[in-house]
Amino acid sequence: MSKIFTSIFFLILTLSSFGNEGLGIIADDDFKNVGVPQENINQVKQIISEASSKYKLLILDRKSLEIEVNKCILDNPKKNLDKLDELADQLGAIEASIIKDKFRYQIAVQEYISTEQYIKAREIALKRLQSKN
């Protein structure tokens, strides 16, 4: 059950782009068909948007630090060892923040759409997409 819970969350969280109607392949109507109120759908969209923005900022921070690491390595790794250690700690803190945020957003999404509702809505969406092909 925890694998399903985790995989669904990561799927929901990684949907960084969504249209006015739905989340990824799952349309608002798919969620409504399994009993999710429109307010909950809107809340989840807001959570995903917030999570996506925060994730993108953390990734930018990480890339900035990685550039600094590369610069230190190219200049003189032995001389810059203390700085490299400090940068490694900062990179680790960013990675930890990303993981912690995923947990927090997962919990927030689960307050509005249950795992069962998500699975059922996804099945409806897949059937809808298969019938179009």
pLDDT digits (tens, 9 = 90+) for 46-57: 999 999 999 999
Task: Please give the average per-residue pLDDT across 67-90, as a whole number.
Answer: 96
CB atoms within 10 A of CB 57: 11
pLDDT beyond 50 at 44: yes
pLDDT of residue 22: 58
Task: For the chain, give every domain's residue range.
Answer: 2-132
pLDDT of residue 15: 46
Residue-wise pLDDT for 92-110, tens only, equals: 999 999 999 999 999 999 9
Residues 6+ away with beta carbon under 8 Å from 121: 26, 30, 31, 33, 34, 36, 113
